[in-house]
Structure 1
Amino acid sequence: MLNQKIKLSNPELEGEIYYLTEQEGGRKGYINSGYRGQFFYKGKDWDAPQEFIDKEICNPGETVKVKIRTLSPHFHVGQFLEGQYFEAREGFKTVGRGKITKILRSDFNYWNYESFFMNLPVECKPYDFQNIGGFIADFEYGLSKIHGIKKIKFTKSLSNKNQMLNVECILKDNKIQARPFIDEICKSWEDEIQFKNSFYKTDLKQNENNFKFELIFATYHSMYLTGKIIVNATEK
């Protein structure tokens, strides 16, 4: 019996996936729309349900058009290009090979500092020491609401246009859960700190004992600022 028709709310990506045959190392049976195999790209696995666009099942050896919604979107902001390849996996086993055909969520579009500066208005100038205090106050206001943070340290390097301001957050408790805490950091950036014209992407390195997280940003209105929010489990 087929599953009830799946309709994802707010899908973020569209793609095409070829599901491998059993002889190619893939699955034995068909895949239903709503499938939640691992979404693997850039060396990491993620949870991301699929909605099939043009059919309800896909047999091994067939290609299906899909909509995708990630379950941890803050980690995927700024990461995708049309034509980018990914895999569908089950554990360490690749069962499908896919390609991004359309980016539905605008902030998922790939960016880097080169593209940021290329598209800045000509009249936009960098923050200087006279103006940076106001932006630091915004960081203090936004991040101080997050209970897991013990201390915030600022390092200004305004002559380095790719990393003008580092904001280091020291945790109160090394055992804090990384994912919900990072969601709080990203929400604070989005709601309290960033300007309307803003880009960011995230990076998480985690082991059994602690984690290190970075939110890399570039934002502007009449002036621009670049840098990182860095979360360290312990103070250096």
Structure 2
Amino acid sequence: MRVAEMAGKKPDIEAEIRFLSVKESGGPGPYRSGLRTTHDLGHGGALSDAMHVFQDNDQVSPGGTVLSRMSFLVPEVEQGRLYNGFAFTVREGNRIIGHGRVTKVLNQDLQRR
């Protein structure tokens, strides 16, 4: 059973995530499917929490890239804003640990119109 199924929540987006290497000031990793982090999606400093479910691997090392299905804690905040190619940052506290790009909007309420 995948992490998202255990959580009982459908994913909102699919995104390609590249985690920063340790030399780039990324975290020590590895990062595992089920990771819950904050994300800067351009709300002027406000961050959005989401859970990641990695699609091809159960974990990724710093410097690695993974395809992730993400479920937002409060998806309504992103309503009508997201589109394929939308770029965002993945954060751990005040530190940026990765960069993401939306590859598919799965929750149509979030799709930019």
Normalised by the length of structure 1, the TM-score is 0.44
* 1:69 maps to which of 68, 71, 88: 71
- Matched with 1:34 is 34
Residues 94-139 of structure 1, C-alpha deviations (whole Å, 9 max, x = no match): 001010000001111113xxxxxxxxxxxxxxxxxxxxxxxxxxxx
2:106 match: 104
Q: Which ranges of structure 2 fall in alignment gaps of 5 or more residues?
A: none
Does the 8 Å contact 2:4/2:11 carry over to 1?
no
Residue number in structure 1 paired with 2:3: 6
In structure 2, C-alpha distance between the alignment counterparts of 1:29 and 1:78, rounded to whole Å: 33
Deviations 1:211-231 (A, max 9, x none): xxxxxxxxxxxxxxxxxxxxx
- Unpaired runs of at least 5, structure 1: 112-236
Structure 2 letter corresponding to 1:110 = R
Superposition deviation, residue 29 in structure 1: 2.0
- Name the counterpart of 2:47: 45
- In the TM superposition, residue 7 of structure 1 has moved relative to its aligned partner by 2.5
Whole-angstrom CA distance in 1 between matches of 2:69 and 2:14? 4
Work out which of the two has the higher radius of gyration on C-alpha atoms and give 1 or 2: 1
Secondary structure of the residue aligned to 1:37 is strand
Query: 2:88 — aligned with what?
Result: 86
Whole-angstrom CA distance in 1 between matches of 2:32 and 2:86:
24
Aligned to 1:55: 57
CA distance in 2, matches of 1:74, 1:100: 17
Give RMSD over aligned pairs: 1.4
1:183-213: CA deviation from partner (whole Å, max 9, x where unpaired): xxxxxxxxxxxxxxxxxxxxxxxxxxxxxxx
% identical aligned pairs: 31
C-alpha distance in 2 between matches for 1:57 and 1:5: 13
User: Does structure 2 retain, via aligned residues, the 8 Å contact 1:21–1:27?
Assistant: yes
- Of structures 1 and 2, the one scoring higher in RCO (CA 8 A, sep 6+) is 2
Q: Normalized against structure 2, the TM-score is what?
A: 0.89
Q: Which amino acid aligns with 1:59?
A: S
The answer to whether the Cα contact below 8 Å between 2:76 and 2:110 also exists between their aligned partners in 1 is no
Q: Write the mapping of 1:39-188 to structure 2, written as runs, cut at 5 A.
A: 39-42=39-42, 43=44, 44-111=46-113
Classify the secondary structure of the residue corresponding to 2:100. Answer: strand
Question: What per-residue deviation string (whole Å, max 9, x for no partner) do you get for residues 5-55 of structure 1?
Answer: 413531110000000111101011200101011121103311110100000
Q: Is the 8 A contact 1:26 1:60 kept in 2?
A: yes
Determine if contact 1:5/1:56 at 8 Å carries over to the other structure: no
